Amino acid sequence: MTPYTYDYPRPALTVDIVIFTLRDNCLQALLIKRGSEPYKDMWALPGGFVRMDETLEEAACREMQEETGLKQAYLEQLYTYGNPQRDPRGRVVTVAYFALIQADVDIRREGGTDVSQAGWFPIGYLPPLAFDHAEILTYAIRRLRYKLEYSAVGFQLLPDQFTLSELQFTYEIILGEKLDKRNFRRRILEAGVIEPTSDVRSGEGRPARLYRYRPDAIAEAKARRLFP
């Protein structure tokens, strides 16, 4: 039951966002270099305070936009971290989100109050992170991999139109394994979440048909049950 009174000390509330993208054929996360203590000069997840008049998702969206200039992205709440010792300055509870942004988007940082440095890091080569952000990022990667296996979230990392080979590469990069071309194509098409366009992309070799995400599709398949 939500309580009757409010005369308690309150933790500070922030959002932190794990922003993934594909760059240079690998999965990368956006990090910000801290400009002040504690953890000065260490890398950390982008994030900030939740304002009093916005939802948590709006706060995450806003912070992401401030860091990347990007509004359109897949955004999902991940977990809320509330260990009293996670921030040495005092009690800070953070709602973590993860976001997927399209591979071809160039981020530009809009001038914020903090002029800290931002950079993309391949998830296999992450620097030491401030606070409990390493734990958050590890969990985000696990959730992304898992989600990829039973939902069709992979498109979110690609431009609006893409070839089936590009989509397969995306899956292979994130899952870290080779996939069979024919099985991949059959299953992804049977799932009905993408549809062919009338365009093709020419390059070396035979031109490839371009596909797009079907916004009306049910992106999440029902996993076959294991129990009982």
* Binding positions for DNA, rule: CB under 7 A: 163-165, 180-183, 185-186, 200, 202-209, 224, 226
Binder to its own copies among 94, 99, 101, 194 (CB under 8 A)? 94
Question: Among residues 7 and 202, whose Cβ is nearest to its own copies?
Answer: 7
Q: Under DSSP, is residue 19 helix (H, G, I), strand (E, B) or coil? A: strand
Binder to its own copies among 68, 141, 154, 211 (CB under 8 A)? 154
Q: Nearest approach, Cβ of 11 to its own copies (angstroms)? A: 5
Q: Choose from its own copies, DNA, none: what does 87 bind? Cβ within 5-8 Å by kind.
A: its own copies
CA distance 131 to 43: 10
Does residue 84 interact with its own copies by CB under 8 A?
yes
Question: Among residues 117 and 197, whose Cβ is nearest to its own copies?
Answer: 117
Return the closest-CA partner of residue 208 out of 173, 174, 161, 171: 161
Question: Among residues 53 and 204, whose Cβ is nearest to its own copies?
Answer: 53
Does residue 14 interact with its own copies by CB under 8 A?
yes
Return the closest-CA partner of residue 160 out of 113, 92, 215: 215
CA distance 72 to 156: 10
HEC sequence for 169-181: HHHHHHHCCCCCH
CA distance 100 to 19: 6
Question: Among residues 54 and 104, whose Cβ is nearest to its own copies?
Answer: 54
Q: Under DSSP, is residue 41 helix (H, G, I), strand (E, B) or coil? A: coil
Q: Choose from its own copies, DNA, none: what does 205 bind? Cβ within 5-8 Å by kind.
A: DNA
Residues in region 33-62 near its own copies by CB under 8 A: 34-36, 44-56, 59
Per-position DSSP letters for 101-130, written without gaps between them = --TTPPP-PPP-S----EEEEETTSPPPBS
Q: Nearest approach, Cβ of 25 to its own copies (angstroms)? A: 18
Q: Choose from its own copies, DNA, none: what does 130 bind? Cβ within 5-8 Å by kind.
A: its own copies
Characterize 211-222 residue by residue with b for buried, 16 or more Cβ atoms within 10 angstroms of its Cβ, and e for exposed.
Answer: bbbeeeeeeeee
CB 16 within 8 A of CB 133: yes
Chain residues in the site for its own copies (CB under 8 A): 1-4, 6, 8-14, 16, 32, 34-36, 44-56, 59, 77, 79-80, 82-84, 87, 89-95, 114, 116, 130-131, 148-152, 154, 168, 171, 179, 183-184, 187-188, 191, 221, 223-228
